[in-house]
Amino acid sequence: MDDKKLEEYMNILRRTDVFYDLTDVQLQMVASACSEVKLRKNDIVFEENSAGDEMYVIAQGEIEILVDPSLVQVQQDQQPEASAIAVLRPGQTFGEVALVDQGLRTASARCASRKALLLLVPREGLITLCDNYPDLGYRVMRNLAADLAFKIRGTDLLVREQLLWRPRGE
């Protein structure tokens, strides 16, 4: 990777919560492990319930996070349609859970803008850096935990709203 591309990746990573408070040297190491993904409108990044071992950082464009409602409710005589639960923009990350547990994806991700540019952060490369550079590992894992906690709290509020909201007269 050339120096210009490396600097570009570092600037993208610098804007994210997961890589907050990393030194330039640490950002450079993470950036060197990344690759880019170019998308067009409606391109699928990954499907719900698929295996994954990478996280994505949005450099340009928008990404919709979609869930399949048929996984929690049965709809008679209807083909279930995925519901958008979030639209993410530059500087935001998604797919972080795969970095932690390598489990199945909990949602789908689809390009919502005319085009998008993502940085792919591979689990293996990031974990190797975290193992070899404990200060970098501590900062990334601390930030990752904070980011996931924030998202869990937001999801908790949405679930409570759905469970507690009842139309008048019921």
138 lies in a domain?
yes
3-state secondary structure (DSSP) of residue 77 = coil
73 lies in a domain?
yes
72 closest CA partner among 164, 159, 146: 159
Residue 80's pLDDT is 64
- Give the pTM: 0.86
Query: What's the one-letter identity of residue 56?
Result: Y
71 lies in a domain?
yes
3-state secondary structure (DSSP) of residue 72 = coil
131 lies in a domain?
yes
113 lies in a domain?
yes
pLDDT of 169 above 60: no
Number of domains forming the structure of the chain:
1
- Residues 80-95 have pLDDT tens digits of 677 888 899 999 999 9
39 lies in a domain?
yes
pLDDT band at 160 (very low <50, low <70, confident <90, very high): confident
CA distance 143 to 121: 15
pLDDT of 51 above 80: yes
166 lies in a domain?
no
Domain extent for 24: 3-158
Q: Output the domain CATH number for residue 52.
A: 2.60.120.10
